[in-house]
Copies of this chain bind each other. A is one copy, B any other.
Amino acid sequence: MSHRDDASPIPRPGGRTARVRADVLAAVERELAASGYDNLTIEAVAASSGVHRTTIYRRWGSVAGLLVDLLASGADDDWRPADTGALEGDLIRLNREVRDALVQQPSLTGAVIAASFRTAEAAEALTSFWQDRYVRSEIVVRRAIDRGEIPSDTDAQRLLIACTAPVYHQLVLLRQPMTRAAADRAAKDAAAAARARVYRR
């Protein structure tokens, strides 16, 4: 036989498929910036990208699929929490990142959260993303323990959630504005509570 005789898909890394994907994801970002998540429709992405509707439906299936792919394509695998040398500083940096991601216009995070209430696909992408972030953030607690700032039996998950949950709650659920100072406040509160031995197992 002269052609490929295995059943695996043929990779064409620099080919049309890759260009189409890049064009479409770029269009998703553009449209999101221009008209927000509510107006992010397959039609609009097709028009803006120059790729036909049918292709987008076939490859991504839905708006949620587009967002998931965008999230995946932009996944920062090298992300690490900042190291300021003190627990409070580290937590403040963490909360600022969270706040900025949610306040930013347009907010990709906000869009994915909204999408996660519509399709299981987006919900899973989001939970695994957050899961990963919380695990990576544990190093902040580890360092604080090593420095002797907080008890060695501090529950990292509880502390981290106590720190960031108020930010998400305020911005996503209560939908009220939150200043950077208020986000800092939440981080300082969590650090103070941890020093006061609140989050021990």
**Interface of A with B (CB < 8 Å)?**
113-114, 116-118, 123, 127, 130-131, 158, 161-162, 164-166, 168-170, 172-176, 185-186, 189, 192-193, 196, 198-199
User: Which residues from B are CB-within-8-Å of A166?
Assistant: 158, 161-162, 165
Bound CA span A193–B163, Å: 13
**Copies of the polypeptide in the assembly:** 2
Q: Tell which of A164, A173, A174 has the most Cβ of chain B within 10 Å.
A: A173
Which residue of B is nearest A182, CB measured? Answer: B158
Do most interface residues of chain A lie in helix, strand or loop, or is the interface mixed? helix
Question: When the two chains form their complex, are residues B198 and A189 in contact, meaning their CB atoms are under 8 A apart?
Answer: yes
Q: Tell which of A130, A164, A198, A199 has the most Cβ of chain B within 10 Å.
A: A198
Question: When the two chains form their complex, are residues B196 and A198 in contact, meaning their CB atoms are under 8 A apart?
Answer: yes
Question: When the two chains form their complex, are residues A158 and B117 in contact, meaning their CB atoms are under 8 A apart?
Answer: no
Bound CA span A140–B142, Å: 35
Question: When the two chains form their complex, are residues A168 and B173 in contact, meaning their CB atoms are under 8 A apart?
Answer: yes
Question: When the two chains form their complex, are residues A174 and B127 in contact, meaning their CB atoms are under 8 A apart?
Answer: yes
Question: When the two chains form their complex, are residues B123 and A113 in contact, meaning their CB atoms are under 8 A apart?
Answer: no
Q: Tell which of A113, A114, A165 has the most Cβ of chain B within 10 Å.
A: A165
Question: When the two chains form their complex, are residues B185 and A192 in contact, meaning their CB atoms are under 8 A apart?
Answer: no
Which residue of B is nearest A114, CB measured? Answer: B117
Question: When the two chains form their complex, are residues A158 and B189 in contact, meaning their CB atoms are under 8 A apart?
Answer: yes
Bound CA span A185–B157, Å: 12
Please give me the 7 A-B residue pairs with the lowest Cβ-Cβ distance, nearest first: A196-B196, A165-B169, A193-B193, A165-B165, A114-B117, A192-B198, A165-B166
